[in-house]
Structure 1
Amino acid sequence: MSEGKKHEVAVILINYNSGAYTKSCIESILVHTSKTLDFQIVVIDNASEDSDYQALKSYCGQQDFANLKLIRNDINVGFGGGNMLGVHYTNANYLAFINNDSFFTTDCLSIILNAMKSDPKFGICGPLAHNEHGKLLPTLDHFASPVKEIFGRNFLETINPVVYPKRKKLYTAPKRAQFISGSFMIVAAADFNAVGGFDTNIFLYYEETDLCKRLAKIDKFAYLIPDAKFIHYHGISTPKSTDIKIELKISLLYVIRKHYGFLAYKFMVVYLSVRYFFSSIFKPKYWKLFYILLLGAPLSKSLKTRQRIKA
Structure 2
Amino acid sequence: MIFDIAVVLINYNSSEHSINCIRSIIQNTSNKLSYQIIITDNCSEKEDYLQLKTFCDNLDFPNLKLLRSSINTGFGGGNMFGLPFVNATFIAFINNDTLLKNDCLSILKNTLHNNPSIGIAGAQAYNQKGEFMISLDHFASPTREILGRNFLERVNSKKYPKRKQLYTQPTQVNFIPGSFMFVRATDFYEVGGFDTTIFLYYEETDLCLRLAKKHKFAYLVPQAEFIHFHGASTPSSIYIKTELKISLLYIIRKHYGYLSYLLVLNYLRINYSFSTLFKPKYWYLLKILIAGAPISSSIKTKQQIEVL
TM-score interval for Structure 1 and Structure 2 normalised by the shorter chain: over 0.9
The residue that corresponds to 2:250 in the other structure is 254
Q: Which amino acid in structure 1 is aligned with residue 250 of structure 2? A: Y
Query: Is it true that 1:71 corresponds to 2:63 in the alignment?
Result: no
User: When the two structures are aligned, how many residues end up with a matched partner?
Assistant: 307
Q: Which amino acid in structure 2 is aligned with residue 7 of structure 1? A: F
Query: Is it true that 1:283 corresponds to 2:255 in the alignment?
Result: no
Q: Distance in 2 between matches of 1:173 and 1:284?
A: 45
Q: Distance in 1 between matches of 2:61 and 2:179?
A: 24
Q: Distance in 2 between matches of 1:93 and 1:280?
A: 49
Identity, in percent, stands at 58
| Unmatched 5+ stretches in structure 1 | none
Pick aligned residue for 1:44 from 37, 40, 46: 40
Aligned residues: CA RMSD: 0.5
Q: Which amino acid in structure 2 is aligned with residue 289 of structure 1? A: L
1:148 Cα shift? 0.5
Q: Distance in 1 between matches of 2:159 and 2:98?
A: 28
TM-score by length of 1: 0.98
TM-score by length of 2: 0.99
1:241 Cα shift? 0.2
Q: Distance in 2 between matches of 1:103 and 1:137?
A: 14
The residue that corresponds to 1:170 in the other structure is 166
1:42 Cα shift? 0.3
Q: Which amino acid in structure 1 is aligned with residue 249 of structure 2? A: L
1:122 Cα shift? 1.1
The residue that corresponds to 1:14 in the other structure is 10
Secondary structure of 2:183 counterpart: strand
The residue that corresponds to 2:179 in the other structure is 183
Q: Distance in 2 between matches of 1:127 and 1:158?
A: 24
Deviation sequence 1:273-304 (CA, Å, 0-9, x none) = 11101100110000010000000000000000
| Unmatched 5+ stretches in structure 2 | none
Q: Which amino acid in structure 2 is aligned with residue 114 of structure 1? A: N
Q: Which amino acid in structure 1 is aligned with residue 4 of structure 2? A: E
Q: Where does 1:68-217 land on structure 2 (aligned, <5 Å)?
A: 68-217=64-213
The residue that corresponds to 2:232 in the other structure is 236
1:193 Cα shift? 0.5
Q: Distance in 1 between matches of 2:136 and 2:263?
A: 26
Secondary structure of 1:226 counterpart: strand
Secondary structure of 1:136 counterpart: coil
Q: Distance in 1 between matches of 2:164 and 2:65?
A: 36
Q: Distance in 1 between matches of 2:115 and 2:91?
A: 17
